[in-house]
Amino acid sequence: MRTVRKTRTTERRTTECRTAERRATGAVAAAVAVLALAAGCSGSGGKGAEDKAGSPGGRPVDTPRLTIGMVSHSGEGDTFWDIVQNGAQQAADKDNVKFLYANAKEGGRQAELVQSYLDQKVDGLIVTLAKPEALAAVVRKAVAQGTPVITVNSGGRFSAAYGALAHIGQDETVAGRAVGEELNRRHLKKALCVIHEQGNVSLEDRCAGVRATFTGRVEDVSVDGTNAPASQSSVQARLQSDADVDSVVTLGAPMAAIAGKARDEAGSKARIGTFDLNPSVVGLLKKKDVDFAVDQQPYLQGYEAVDLLWLYKVNGNVLGGGKPVLTGPAIVTAKDVPKLEEYTGRGTR
């Protein structure tokens, strides 16, 4: 009797799922997919609903065309932000979204760019808060005007206070603590933490996190990340003047190679760990010129930010419950290189 009841229940759910799939069009598709999963639909039923909702490999959704703008604190030619944009564009293609991107290192200019997108009446905004005070007023203005905002990557602790729907990224203090623990595992005693952008709260949080868990000593070194030769000279000088330094922690992928050159020129044997990945860092991991890297998955930050804004606009969804949606940290080393080479080669890690 129990078997018969179970079979009938399964048949009923299968029929319901198939009916739901036939009805799942436009903005309703995403909601139907969620409801179908909750009802216990089969794998094939879920797949059909996902295709209708515009999953990767399927056709884009047929919801109204939206425009979403992103403003980051990056400079030109930053490979990290190329990966973020790749993720955002992939989600935009899936979600029938026109994706706009602008960037500025200086906080005031970043705020102006956000305002320019508000003037264009975009349907949603993605903003980084590396210089939170400079962005506070314009982000709050956007929210007050009814334009939903998601913050990514930087300044997560300011996101909710400014009215953003969610923050997507890694908790930089947590990431820094993970690095401190990694240095402990390697029995290191004194580290330089290289801050390549003054006033960037995320970089300061990273060094503070390292200091919180590392049982050795940590000294911050401030350099001009836009000037590679000067940055190398600054790190090199510190290594030459202090033979006790046995590790260097860089806070961005481009700085890893600069620190490596500084170490070699100084004749130091200091180990190097870095935050963030790019193809160059993967190559350095492979050669063991860099011991480890902290991956915060920038592709995921861009992808999820666009996708969550789309879900909010078409289905009222908000993810995270007011807490950050974490994309990292993950410590990667030489053993992870084979897969990382594949992923970085296609611009997704």
- Whether residue 197 lies inside any domain: the answer is yes
- Whether residue 87 lies inside any domain: the answer is yes
Domain housing 255: 172-295+335-341
Are 232 and 199 in a shared domain? yes
Report DSSP letters for 284-308, one per residue: HHHHTSS-EEEE--HHHHHHHHHHH
Are 304 and 282 in a shared domain? no
Are 101 and 189 in a shared domain? no
Is the pLDDT score of 273 beyond 90? yes
- pLDDT, one tens digit per residue, over 64-81 is 999 999 999 998 778 889
Tell me, what's the pLDDT at 306? 98
Given a contact cutoff of 8 angstroms between Cβ atoms, the answer to whether 314 and 27 are in contact is yes
Are 213 and 232 in a shared domain? yes
> Looking at residue 184, which CATH number applies to its domain?
3.40.50.2300
Instruction: Give the CA count within 13 Å in the CB-facing half-sphere of 176.
Output: 23
321 exposed, middle or buried (CB, 10 Å; 0-12, 13-18, 19+)? exposed
Higher pLDDT, 8 or 294: 294
Are 95 and 125 in a shared domain? yes
Phi, psi dihedrals of residue 218, rounded to the nearest 5°: -125, 130
* Domain tally, the chain: 3
Query: What six digits make up the tokens of 330?
Result: 């993950």
Is the pLDDT score of 35 beyond 70? no
